A and B are shown apart, each in its own frame.
Chain A
Amino acid sequence: MSSIHQELVNIVGEDYASNRREELFTYSKDLGTSQPLWPEYVVAPKTTDELQAVVRLANETKTPIVPLGGGMTLAGLALPQQGGVIIDLKRMDKILEVNEQGRYMVVEAGISHGKITSYLKKNHPNLMHSEPGAPPAATVGGNLAIHGQGDLAHPYGFNTDMVNGLEVVLPTGDIARFGSCAVGSGWYTMHPLPDIGLFLGWNGATGIITKVSLKLYPCKKFRENNMFVVENEEFVPDVLFEISHLGMAEDLIATSSEIPPMMNRLHYISIINTGDSEEELEFKRHMTFDVQLAKYIRNGVGGIVSLYDERSRPQVSKSADWKKGGGFEYVGAIVPVSFYPECYRRGSEISGRHFIPYTVLGRVIGSCHSMMFSWSYAFNRADDATVKHARDALHETDELVMELNGTIWKPAIFGQKLMLERMDPGALRLMKEVKKILDPNGIMNPGNWEVD
Chain B
Amino acid sequence: MNLMEYKYKDMIHRCFRCGYCKFPTDWSDITNCPPYARFRLESYSTGGRLWLIRAWLNGELEWSPNLANIVYSCVGCKNCVEKCPHSFNDDVVNMIIAAKTAMVDEGKIPKAVGEFLTNVQLHGNPYGMAAKRREDWMEGLNLEPYKGQEFLFYVGCEGSYDTRAQGAARATAKLLQQAGVSFGVLGSQEISDGNEVEMMGEDALLEDLAKKNIKMFTELGVKKIITLSPHSYNVFKNRYPDFGGEFQIYHHSQILANLLKKGLIKAPEQADARITFHDPCFLGRWNEEYSAPRKVLAAIPGAAFAEMGRNKKGALCCGGGAGNFYTDFLGGSEDSPARIRAREADEAKANILAVACPNCLTMLEDAVKVEGLEDKIKVRDISEILTA
Contacts and interface: CB of A to CB of B under 8 A. Distances in A.
Interface of A: 15-16, 18, 20-23, 25-27, 29, 31, 42, 44, 70-72, 88, 90-91, 93, 112, 114-115, 117-119, 122, 135-137, 313, 315, 317-318, 320-321, 324-327, 380-382
Contacts of B88: 321, 324
16 contacts: A16-B40, A18-B41, A22-B43, A25-B61, A26-B41, A26-B42, A26-B51, A31-B18, A88-B41, A115-B29, A118-B26, A118-B29, A317-B18, A318-B86, A321-B87, A324-B10
Interface in B1-25: 10-11, 13-20, 22-23
Interface stretch (B63-71, B95-103, B165-173, B254-262): B63-71
B85 A117 contact: no
B352 interface: no
A317 B28 CA distance: 20
A327 B16 contact: yes
Given A18-B41, A27-B42, A115-B30, 7 more contacts: A93-B30, A112-B30, A136-B19, A317-B16, A317-B20, A324-B11, A325-B13
A15 B18 contact: no
A326 B13 contact: yes
B206 to A, nearest CB: 27
Contact of B20 (A18, A23, A135): A135
Contacts of A380: 13
Nearest to A137: B19
Main secondary structure of the interface of A (DSSP, over half): mixed
B202 to A, nearest CB: 23
A21 B42 contact: no
Contact of A44 (B20, B23, B41): B41
A2 to B, nearest CB: 21
Given A118-B27, A118-B28, A318-B85, A91 B14 contact: no
Given A21-B64, A29-B51, A321-B87, A16 B41 contact: yes
A90 B48 contact: no
B70 A22 contact: yes
Nearest to A113: B27
A118 B310 CA distance: 12
B66 A20 contact: yes
A20 B44 CA distance: 13
Q: Which 10 A-B pairs have the closest CB atoms?
A: A326-B14, A137-B19, A382-B13, A114-B27, A118-B27, A317-B18, A135-B18, A381-B13, A320-B16, A26-B43
B27 A117 contact: yes
A70 B10 CA distance: 27
Contacts of A112: 30
B39 interface: yes
How many of chain B's residues touch chain A, expressed as a range? Answer: 35 or more
B55 interface: yes
B333 interface: yes
B319 to A, nearest CB: 15
Contacts of A16: 39-41
A137 B39 contact: no
A438 B51 CA distance: 37
Contact of B14 (A25, A90, A381): A381
Contact of B18 (A26, A44, A91, A137): A137
Contacts of B51: 25-26, 29
Given A22-B52, A26-B42, A90 B13 contact: no
Given A22-B52, A26-B52, A27-B42, A72 B18 contact: yes
Nearest to A327: B16
Contacts of A324: 10-11, 14, 88
Contact of B86 (A18, A25, A321): A321
The interface centre, meaning the residue of B40, B42, B62 with most chain A CB atoms within 10 A of its CB, is B42
B16 A31 contact: yes
Given A16-B41, A115-B30, A118-B28, A135 B19 contact: yes
Given A25-B52, A26-B51, A26-B52, A317 B14 contact: no
Contacts of B55: 25
A321 B11 CA distance: 11
B83 to A, nearest CB: 10
A91 B40 contact: yes
B100 to A, nearest CB: 16
Contacts of B309: 122
Given A31-B16, A135-B20, A137-B18, A71 B42 contact: yes
A252 B20 CA distance: 24
A36 to B, nearest CB: 9
Contacts of A21: 61-62, 64, 66
Contacts of B13: 325-326, 380-382
A22 B61 contact: yes
Contacts of A118: 26-29
Nearest to A71: B42
The interface centre, meaning the residue of A16, A21, A44, A93 with most chain B CB atoms within 10 A of its CB, is A21
Contacts of A381: 13-14
A117 B17 CA distance: 21
Contacts of B60: 25
Nearest to B87: A321
A44 B38 CA distance: 12
Contacts of B67: 22
Contacts of B17: 31
A346 B88 CA distance: 33
